């Protein structure tokens, strides 16, 4: 099967590409190797894809290009059976600083993918959305009918992209599914994420820094569970245009998360606190009953187990991954 993974040099896209290649699928990765993203990390993700291709029977191709360029996207889409659209400009805080880039990448780029797909013989387009579309909770856990009132430009851009995906399904009959990810973490994630920051600081004898009072809660989802949901869509009949949450069964406050990391690595350290960013959501928690019904989705890794797995991987890769080591 020919699979196109946009953003395939990124965190989730890289994991997906490597898994598909090990399964023997032909995978084309479309990525612009954005310099705003850790370039060395992306190169290592691509090398992992090359190794995975050697382990399986699939063909691997890297297309260096930007989803904002319609001709590049059209060419990459032309040979695909399935598209896993993971490419995006990420970061809630970044989106506050450069909202126009968020819109160009996350909205215009997604339209380019959808346009190319509707002019090709595509079996399905699977699109990465985000829990950021929900914004301030009226109730928890969020189900898919919860009002969508995002509190950041990032959330707005993901909601707009998601709605274009739905409309392309309704008007043009394009087979699509959107998955709303809830705070995905694990090996190869961006080093500036909360968990990786906590681990890095603790390994260097520095206190974890919590932004706000630590009462904010998150539904942290281990990356392997996200991969399972995506892979399931290669073999499961789901109505076109569906939108579903992909989260965990966990909901943990940031203070407790910092303590979980601290207690494993440097229990003598005290927690520190900084100013909270107003664009950060106060709480997230996924109702995954729809994904369970349609996909049989059941997350398998709780936050404490996932943190332990990530710390083990971090230690093995600290020399190139840890920002404090790289910049020393």
Strand partners, 30: 6, 63
- pLDDT of 35 higher than 90: no
Percentage above 90 pLDDT, the chain: 85
Integer Cα distance of 305 and 323 in angstroms: 24
Q: What is the pLDDT of residues 199-216, one digit of tens each?
A: 999 999 999 999 999 999
Per-residue model confidence (pLDDT) at position 99: 79
- pLDDT of 281 higher than 90: no
C-alpha distances in angstroms, 188 versus 7, 15, 204, 301?
A: 14, 8, 20, 17
Q: What is the pLDDT of residues 44-86, one digit of tens each?
A: 999 999 999 999 888 999 999 999 999 999 999 999 999 999 9
What's the average model confidence in pLDDT over 283-309? 96
- Arithmetic mean of pLDDT over the chain: 93
Is 37 part of the annotated catalytic residue set? no
Choose between 309 and 325: higher pLDDT.
Answer: 309
Which residue in 37, 60, 142, 154 is the catalytic one?
Answer: 154
Strands, E assignment, the chain: 2-6, 26-31, 60-64, 82-85, 124-130, 176-181, 184-185, 209-211, 217-218, 221-222, 242-246, 252-253, 272-274
Choose between 324 and 285: higher pLDDT.
Answer: 285
CATH no. for 2-182+223-249+286-300: 3.40.50.720
């Amino acid at each position: 099967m020919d699979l196109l993974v946009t953003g395939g040099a990124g965190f989730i896209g890289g994991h997906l590409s490597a898994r598909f290649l090990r399964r023997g699928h032909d995978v084309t990765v479309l990525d612009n190797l954005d310099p705003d993203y850790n370039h060395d990390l992306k190169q290592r993700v691509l090398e992992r894809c090359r190794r995975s291709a050697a382990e399986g029977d699939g063909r691997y191709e890297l297309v260096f290009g930007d989803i904002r360029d319609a001709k590049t996207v059209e060419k990459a889409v032309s040979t695909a059976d399935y598209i896993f659209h993971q490419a995006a400009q990420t970061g809630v805080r970044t989106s506050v600083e450069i909202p126009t880039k968020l819109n160009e990448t996350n909205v215009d780029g997604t339209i380019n993918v959808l346009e190319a797909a509707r002019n090709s013989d595509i079996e399905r387009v699977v699109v990465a959305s985000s829990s950021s579309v929900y914004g301030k909770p009226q109730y928890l856990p969020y189900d898919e009918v919860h009002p969508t009132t995002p509190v950041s430009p990032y959330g707005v851009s993901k909601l707009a992209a998601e709605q274009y995906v739905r409309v392309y399904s309704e008007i043009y009959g394009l087979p699509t599914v959107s998955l709303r990810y809830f705070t995905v973490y694990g090996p190869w994630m961006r080093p500036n994420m909360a968990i990786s920051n906590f681990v890095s600081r603790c390994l260097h004898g520095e206190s974890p820094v919590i932004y706000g009072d630590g009462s904010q809660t998150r539904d942290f989802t281990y990356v392997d569970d996200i991969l399972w949901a995506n892979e399931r869509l290669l073999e499961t009949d789901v109505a076109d245009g569906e939108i579903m949450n992909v989260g965990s069964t966990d909901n943990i406050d940031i203070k407790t998360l910092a303590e979980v990391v601290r207690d494993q690595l440097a229990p003598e350290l005290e927690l520190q606190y900084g100013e909270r960013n107003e664009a950060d959501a106060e709480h997230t928690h996924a109702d995954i009953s729809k994904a369970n019904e349609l996909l049989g989705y059941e997350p398998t890794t709780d936050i404490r187990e996932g943190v332990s797995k990530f710390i083990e991987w971090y230690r093995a890769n600290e020399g190139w991954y840890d920002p404090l080591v790289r910049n020393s």
